[in-house]
Structure 1
Amino acid sequence: MALPRKALIAVTSAHAPLYPDGQETGLFITEALHPFNVFRKAGFEVDLVSETGSYQADWLSLQKDWLNDEDRKIWEDHSSEFRSKLDHILKPGDINYDKYGLFFASAGHASLIDYPDAKGLQSIASHMYTDGSIISAVCHGGAIFPGIIDPKTGKSIISGKEVTGFTTKGEEEEGVLDTIISWKRPTIEKAAAEAGATYVAPPGPWAAFAHTDGRIVTGANPASAHVTADDAVKAFDKL
């Protein structure tokens, strides 16, 4: 049976001070926007969902270096399809998982806070994986993987798989590793290892890089959101 050409983008509900002047992390805008654009261009219908049906934008992701003029125009236009869906973001209870063929966990450092315990999102992804869907994540989105269980094995769907995600070196370069430790959350590299996966590092913390292992497609950082979504579509089209 062909899977529905419909993608579900998960968004973090969390926010917390992270940056030097106390500005907060939340959803890293382009890590949801770029995949949204890729999926729409590839003929997918796309919905956005968060664990609590709420979100907050990450401060850094709204700065000029990270949100170009074209992306900013979409973000600031509440009638654009992307912004409208974000403004009316769904909750797990609104989602019928068998209507989707691709799950994509967008990110922002805030994902480290809520994704590990996001039982609603994890359950959707687990059901989708069991049904043969593509499961994808970019940057800190991989924080959701340890809780996405494969009922066949009772282990995380990334156990025995190769994945990438934001590097611990990148956390050090950003000066946020101590904050993450204070949240009592593992880095993406550590979370992958603890879930039984092999972490594949990008050429550098900020290099665009994605990795596919079967039906698991992962990307390393904000610059990788587009290529990760592209690779997720390629993996979907091979099913």
Structure 2
Amino acid sequence: MAPPRKALIAVSSAHAPLYPEGKETGLFITEALHPFLVFKKAGFDVDLVSETGSSQPDWLSQQEDWLKGEDKKIWEDRSSEFRQKLDNLLKPSDVDPSKYGIFFASAGHASLIDYPDAKGLQSIASKMNTNGGIISAVCHGGAIFPGIIDPSTGKSIIANRRVTGFTTKGEEEEGVLDTIKSWNRPTIEASAASAGATYVSPAGPWDAFTVTDGRVVTGANPASAHVTAEAAVKAFDAL
């Protein structure tokens, strides 16, 4: 029996200075919003959860280059379904993993900080994986994978799988590699390797790119959030 047609989008609850003048990273808005819209259009109920039940938007993700048109309208409308769910985030203790068929880890650099230790979110994803659901992540969301364990192997669910995520080259281009090192966190490429996965790079750091390997679906960067969610729906429909 296929898992329920319901999606759970995980959101980072971390924030930290990353940009000029100490402006902070947090949730990269469209990396949660675009999947939300894709899942809704495909007939899924959608909920949002973070490890602590709180979140803060990433500064860059609110700028005109990254948030415009309909996206900006939905974000600024406090009564929109997306905004309501983001402003009233679930905590892991509120979530029954058996009620969901897709787990989607949205991102922002902040997820490098909290996802590796987010035991609540990891446990939900692990149970959903065991139940036969789709486990998906975009950009820095892959930081959660080393902690999502398959109880039958004792290893990460991405061991021996092909995954993508934000490139180390992209971190260099943004000039944030030293900051990530100061957080004592690995890049997504290093994180994937540590979990026994094969990292697949997009042609360029900012190109829309997604990889599906079995029930694991990953995307490379903010531009990939939409296509990664579509690929997750496709994988779900194939179950």
AA matched with 2:210? A
TM-score w.r.t. structure 2 length? 1.00
Deviations 1:22-61 (A, max 9, x none): 1000000000000000000000000000000000000000
The CA distance in 1 between the partners of 2:162 and 2:151, in whole Å, is 19
Given residue 18 of structure 1, which amino acid in structure 2 is its aligned partner? L
- Matched with 1:189 is 189
Secondary structure in 1 matching 2:169: helix
Give the Cα separation in 1 of the matches to 2:203 and 2:230: 19
Structure 2 match to 1:30? 30
Question: 2: distance between equivalents of 1:224 and 1:119?
Answer: 26
Look up the match of 1:53. 53
Per the alignment, residue 121 of structure 1 pairs with: 121
Show the counterpart of 2:213: 213
- What is the letter of the counterpart of residue 82 of structure 2? F
CA shift, 1:70, in A, is 1.1
TM superposition shift of 1:68: 1.2
Whole-angstrom CA distance in 2 between matches of 1:40 and 1:68: 20
> Match of 2:211, SS?
strand
Using the TM superposition, give the Cα deviation of residue 2 of structure 1 relative to its aligned residue in structure 2, in angstroms.
2.2
| Contact 2:2–2:132 (CA under 8 A) maintained in structure 1 | no
Match in the other structure for 1:234: 234
SS of structure 2 residue aligned to 1:136: strand
Q: Distance in 1 between matches of 2:102 and 2:4?
A: 8
Structure 2 residue ranges without an equivalent (≥5):
none
Q: Give me the identity figure in percent.
A: 80
**Number of residue pairs the alignment of both structures matches:** 239
CA distance in structure 1 between the partners assigned to 2:165 and 2:27 by the alignment: 16
Q: Displacement, 1:198?
A: 0.2
Shift of 1:21: 1.4
Structure 1 residue 231 displacement after superposition:
0.2
Aligned to 2:81: 81
Matched residues in 2 for 1:112 and 1:2: separation?
31
Cα distance in 2, alignment partners of residues 195 and 179 from structure 1: 23
In 2, distance between residues paired with 1:95 and 1:83?
A: 19
After TM superposition, give the deviation of residue 20 of structure 1 in Å.
Answer: 1.6
CA distance in 2, matches of 1:21, 1:4: 45
Q: How many angstroms apart in 2 are the aligned matches of 1:69 and 1:131?
A: 38
* Aligned residue identity for 2:221: N
Q: Helix, strand or coil: the match of 2:185? A: coil
Is 1:143 aligned to residue 148 of structure 2? no
Q: Distance in 2 between the 1:65 and 1:21 partners?
A: 19
Normalising by structure 1, we get a TM-score of 1.00
Q: Following the alignment from structure 1 to structure 2, what is the Cα–Cα distance between the partners of residues 108 and 56?
A: 10
Distance 2:7 2:43 in 1: 10
Aligned partners of 1:61 and 1:16: how far apart in 2?
A: 14
- Distance, in Å, in 2 between the alignment partners of 1:229 and 1:2 is 18
Structure 2 residue aligned with 1:72: 72
Note if contact 2:13-2:51 (Cα within 8 Å) is conserved in structure 1: yes
2:70 and 2:21 mapped to 1: Cα distance? 27
Give the 3-state SS of the residue equivalent to 1:103 in structure 2: strand
Structure 1 residue aligned with 2:12:
12
